[in-house]
Amino acid sequence: MGQNADVSHASATRQNIIDAVLRIIGQDGIAAVTNRRIAKEAAVSLGSVTYHFATQHELLRESLLHFVAEETRHFTALADECTDEHFDIGQAAEVVAQVAGGNAFDSRHIAPFELYVQAGRDERLRAAAADCFAAYDLLATRILTQLGVQDPERLAGAAVALVFGQQLRRLATGAPAEDLVDTLLILTRFTPAQTP
C-alpha cells in the first residue's frame, strides 16, 4: 500500500506541475516557464520539477499532451452529442457557443494558442497538436453533417480554422463570443445543402 501511495503522490505532483505550466503559459507566455516559477506556482520543491521533467521540451510536450487529451475528450463528447437526427441550426449554435468557451478569456483559453505556436517552432510537439486538431475536425464534421452541409469532411478544416481565427481575433480585440457563433453559422448558410 505504501508503494501505491507513493505512485499516487508522484502522479498528483506531476499533474500539479503540468497545471502550473499551463497557467504560466496562459498568463505570461512560454518564455516565462522557468523551473523556479513552476515550483512556486505548483507549490512544490524545485527538485520536484527537475525530478519529474528532465528538460524544458519534456515539460512543454507533456503540458501540450495533457491539454490535447482533455480537449480531445471534450470535443469527442461534443461530437457524439451531434448525432440526433433532429439536430438543427439552434443546436449547432449551442455547441459552437460551448466551443467559444463563454465570455471571458482567461489563461486557460490563451495557453493553447501559445502551445500551438510553440509546436510551429518545435516539430517534436507537432504530433500532439495534430491529435488535437483531429478532434476539432471530427466535431466540425459532425456538426456540418447534421446541418446537411455538402462535403463536410472537406469543409471541417476550414470551419476549424475559422473558429481559431475568430478566437484569436476575440482574444486580441475583446470581441464578444457571439461574433464567433454568428460567423460560423454564416458559413453554414452559404454552403450548399446536400441533395437527397
Q: What is the DSSP string of 25-94?
A: HHHH-GGG--HHHHHHHHT--HHHHHHH-SSHHHHHHHHHHHHHHHHHHHHHHHHHHTT-TT--HHHHHH
pTM: 0.71
Give tens-digit pLDDT for 4-62.
655 577 788 999 999 999 899 888 888 899 999 999 999 999 999 999 999 888 888 88
CA distance 150 to 164: 22
Compare 194 and 12 and report the one with higher pLDDT: 12
* Best CA proximity match to 136, nearest among 76, 70, 63: 76
* Cα gap 22→193, rounded to integer Å: 40
C-beta of residue 103 within 8 angstroms of C-beta of residue 177: yes
Residues 32 and 20: their CA atoms lie apart, in Å, by 12
So what's the pLDDT on residue 53? Answer: 92
pLDDT digits (tens, 9 = 90+) for 62-95: 887 888 778 777 777 777 777 766 677 777 777 7
Residue 86's φ and ψ, nearest 5 degrees, are: -100, 15
What integer pLDDT is reported at residue 111 of this predicted model?
Answer: 79
With contact defined as beta carbons under 8 Å apart, do 39 and 49 qualify?
A: yes
- In angstroms, how far is CA 181 from the centroid of its own chain? 17
Q: Which triple of cell numbers denotes residue 177?
A: 463570443
